[in-house]
Chain A
């Protein structure tokens, strides 16, 4: 009996050692440990063993079984490992083959710039609002302190629809519309299309975009205007950006200023970009003219405010170094893809 067991064991171990596939191990398991397997049949033949020897033989059978099982498991693990290794080797791919992209579309550079402007001002508590593009001249001019026949009406090269209506030449009419609603305080920006009769060339377009800003509250000062726009400039053009306020004239603000930022290409040293001056003009601004406040139903003795207007294309052209404004309206996908 013992010899038989040893023989079975040795044979099983030999077969395990010789097997090179998981299925074969399974066959071996069935052949030796299965219901009809050789070890099992030894157990079945226990009735032929003398009762006193039975525990011993049983022990031997169990030991053999344990050994075979252990060896089976070991071999199985080793084979599985080898198989996995082979699989991994087989599955090597060329990682430099082209990517499968979702081919996302791209935002227009104007929009990229606008989103940035919006992000900055929304963060400072400004609401983003809109106004009509075809506008009453009353809003585009009169309520902005540009009465009929004022020379400034000519300066803006306005497109007219009829004696009352024009295409807005600036986003400033949204100031008047917002103030008229009478909800104070006001902190808003108003982005949008504006129109001026400039022939199309590398630096002009008859249709472009501005972002208007307006703050009305008690105790708003010119210093607040400076601080706000300095903050904007740093966020928009980088932490190191400096701003310079130059006196200027707009009919609807007083005092008024034009704002230059230190050139974000050369940091102010002077380069081709800033035409050697180290500064780039980016916007116009000022304290809302008391007459404008009055015309819009706000008491200038109680409230003050500031307003500013930024040309979106100007920022987009400067920031992304686009050298021809026409590119913005051609919509060549090779251009748009870069934003």
Chain B
């Protein structure tokens, strides 16, 4: 909402503040000023001049030489403007003065344009006559200004006067950010009320007087409202003998400052009242209203309607319409129809000021795909008690402006008058909530400034209907806080029972995961939770893969963001791809984020959100680097059991020979592997790419931050090296399983120190060598004991077709 300070001052006449003071104070009392524009910015030494003589420039066809009377003296000005004639009064910027912009109306330079005395083609020019663009405005705001050329002032303008003043440019336009609860502040009257209270000045709202001739509107028109829920109030008044003309300058200036282009007196009046009272108005051509009857009722399913912007709108039975005796003439609260719009030939018109149900307007506006200034206001839920005042104000302006003859009487359908709300006042409770010690009398004074009533006997605040946001004591507390000043409320810290600050267990584990990843060289990435359904194909998931069952967004930003991810890979692979594309040699990334697995589709409950710890890399490192990170994490999480890797996991996005599920205590907790070369190609990553994914909800139950010290060994260890020849398809994991199972309590550790395939080894076999360490807690192991264990191990290995190597 943009409003000129001069308009506010019209209702708060004692208000004398600088633009910055106004901005700060209004913002701190709750009417946030987003910014302001001083209309006289960079306008210096600009006066009203009268051209007394025009001569041709001796050396330039397109230039003329003007003698301009500026009151005290006369100056000579050379100009190329085509539109001036002797006797014209014009704005003149004097030598050393400033204008805001160039004559072309482009963006205004920050510091304006300094005007200096000089010579144009040898003839002295002492100043410049100004166009409206040079004065920092535009023809939109000053429609009377010529398209090209100097702005011509009215003949009765005093010569030598301040031209900026004459043009009403000594004004400031404030831009407000009004919160959605303060419907009343989407109006100049509402803002002026706030300004008066903020600066402790008197508030003088417009005085609306009785208007209308001896006739009665009932003799011309009837109004019928079928659904008074959707239309709690409908007011209509009429104007006949319309004389369309431009509206007066003061009205044009105020509208222009609010960003509304002046059109003619009638349009301007409706816009003016909408700004002033926040009440949208509509005008119908009376002669186009069939049956001279207005009926407010819902459309029928399948109806179509042409709005006055020429568009055809599809309707249904929930869209409230304004009908005449024969047809639909407007979509209630949104836009009138092409069929009844006011044209320049209008003779008699009907003003409408109604109150429609905000929710219905909001939904209708979405349905018909049209949001207007009016619908934007109705959506917020207007005060029906405002409608009559507004329509009478409009009629008053019609009379004042001589725009037509107002017909007496009003049609006002308002079956259930909205009554003020009463809120119990309790100063102690308000102070308790705010942490203040404000006097009850002071609070009541704030209420009074805001035009809230007070019932001393019942100790109740009587909230006028324009303040729909005040319903409970907390609301009153905010009013008190606003005018006491948020700044003046003390600062304390909560007292009371102490609480323990901590992270949830899940978050603690995630923190460890981040640490391990970062210590292992992986940097944290963040990617979107929604992605394209094409991801499933990119990851080569079969048609019937469960991961294709995804939660779909009804109103996505586009197909690429339309499903909630069921795999964390696409995000990370996309980021790796970005890095590869940007020629980063190595990239190691990780992400901790959810996937969303629906328990059923369509959803009957919230999906399972599973935190995934995802690692991805290309460049340095290989499969075993990835595996290392996984095991480091398990170590840190106290998961000391042996981790198993199951290569038969069948995950299609991974290299079939280089992939495994990560199995802990017989439960799959994640997977890792090299990205399938096809998938790497799809993501345009030209290097071997490795990924690992841990399903954190599966990992967390195994995590254990408890540590128990076990004594450092007192007795010596015995180490035996064995070298064996194993069939190629035997995994060292299987060998290690034998070592663990058969090594018993005495087995302390084992280490793979050689693995070899090639000459010297029969094809189809590989040589594997382990160093195995045994130790007893309570004595020095004898050779016999170790031999016995080794024998068990060797038997086990032989059972798998493994032979000891000589």
Contact = CB atoms under 8 A, between A and B. Distances in A.
B481 A206 contact: no
Interface string A124-152: 11111110111110000000000001011
Contacts of A99: none
Contacts of B486: 226, 245-247, 257
Interface stretch (B145-153, B179-187, B450-458, B686-694): B179-187
B518 A104 contact: yes
A122 B504 CA distance: 11
Given A105-B519, A105-B521, A133-B529, A223 B434 contact: yes
A208 B272 CA distance: 41
A249 B179 contact: yes
A224 interface: yes
B788 interface: no
Q: Which of A217, A255, A330 has the most CB of B within 10 A?
A: A255
Contacts of B27: 246
Contacts of B555: 159-160, 197
Contacts of A152: 180
A328 B526 contact: yes
A313 B179 CA distance: 23
A332 B576 CA distance: 8
Interface residues of B, number: 91
A176 to B, nearest CB: 14
A86 B39 CA distance: 84
Contacts of A129: 504
A155 B362 CA distance: 12
Nearest to A147: B359
B497 A217 contact: yes
Interface stretch (B219-227, B252-260, B386-394, B589-597): B589-597
Given A132-B609, A185-B496, A193 B529 contact: yes
B500 A127 contact: yes
Contact of B502 (A107, A128, A155, A254): A128
A88 to B, nearest CB: 35
Interface string B423-441: 0000000001111100000
Interface residues of A, number: 85
B712 interface: no
Interface in B462-520: 469, 472-475, 477-478, 481-482, 486-487, 489-504, 506-507, 514, 517-520
Contact of A337 (B496, B523, B528): B523
Q: Which of B180, B434, B526 has the most CB of A within 10 A?
A: B526
Given A105-B523, A111-B524, A122 B553 contact: no
Nearest to B553: A159
A154 interface: yes
A106 interface: yes
Contacts of A226: 486, 489-492
A331 B590 CA distance: 10
Contacts of B213: none
Interface string A74-113: 0000000000000000000000000000111111101100
A220 interface: yes
Nearest to B611: A130
A161 B497 CA distance: 41
A223 to B, nearest CB: 3
Interface stretch (A1-9, A28-36, A41-49, A227-235): A227-235
Nearest to A150: B359
Given A135-B606, A256-B478, A107 B514 contact: yes
Contact of B521 (A102, A219, A249): A102
Contacts of B602: 162
Interface in A169-207: 185, 187, 193, 195, 197, 199-200, 206-207
B180 A155 contact: yes
Contact of B500 (A111, A125, A193): A125
Given A108-B524, A128-B503, A219-B432, A247 B362 contact: no
Contacts of A105: 517-524, 588, 590
B524 A336 contact: yes
A334 interface: yes
B798 interface: no
B28 interface: yes
Contacts of B497: 185, 217
B325 to A, nearest CB: 32
B180 A151 contact: yes
Contact of A161 (B478, B489, B552): B552
Nearest to A155: B180
A332 B579 contact: yes
B501 A122 contact: yes
A121 interface: yes
Contacts of B359: 149
A257 B491 CA distance: 14
Contacts of B520: 105
A290 B474 contact: yes
Contact of B379 (A151, A162, A329): A151
A289 interface: yes
A289 B590 CA distance: 40
Contacts of B507: 128, 130
A336 B529 contact: no
Given A127-B504, A159-B553, A223-B491, A287 B523 contact: no
A289 B496 contact: no
Nearest to A165: B603
A246 B28 contact: yes
A50 interface: no
A337 B589 CA distance: 11
A328 B380 CA distance: 36
A193 B552 CA distance: 18
A56 interface: no
Given A122-B503, A218-B496, A331 B519 contact: no
A258 B524 CA distance: 31
Given A133-B529, A151-B362, A336-B524, A254 B477 contact: yes
Interface stretch (B556-564, B644-652, B700-708, B751-759): B556-564
Given A149-B362, A162-B554, A329-B528, A336 B523 contact: yes
Given A254-B474, A290-B474, A126 B499 contact: yes
Contact of B481 (A155, A167, A228, A255): A255
A215 interface: yes
B18 to A, nearest CB: 15
Q: Which of B434, B475, B552, B588 has the most CB of A within 10 A?
A: B434
B502 A161 contact: no
Given A125-B501, A151-B358, A161-B551, A249 B180 contact: yes
B436 A223 contact: yes
Nearest to B29: A247
Nearest to A248: B179
B477 A255 contact: yes
Contacts of A223: 434-436, 489-492
Q: Which of A102, A224, A331 has the most CB of B within 10 A?
A: A331
Q: Which of B181, B504, B603 has the most CB of A within 10 A?
A: B181
Contacts of A333: 523, 579, 584, 586-589
A227 B493 contact: yes
A15 interface: no
Given A108-B524, A167-B529, 19 more contacts: A106-B524, A118-B503, A122-B503, A125-B501, A130-B507, A133-B596, A161-B553, A167-B553, A185-B499, A217-B496, A224-B493, A224-B494, A226-B486, A228-B493, A244-B28, A287-B477, A304-B433, A331-B526, A334-B584
For the complex of A and B, the 8 pairs showing the least CB-CB separation, nearest first, are A223-B435, A221-B435, A247-B30, A249-B179, A255-B478, A331-B525, A122-B501, A331-B575
8 contacts: A105-B523, A107-B523, A154-B362, A155-B180, A217-B496, A223-B490, A227-B492, A329-B526
Interface of A: 102-108, 110-111, 118, 121-130, 132-136, 149, 151-152, 154-155, 159-162, 165, 167, 185, 187, 193, 195, 197, 199-200, 206-207, 215, 217-224, 226-228, 230-231, 244-249, 251, 254-258, 287, 289-291, 304, 328-334, 336-337
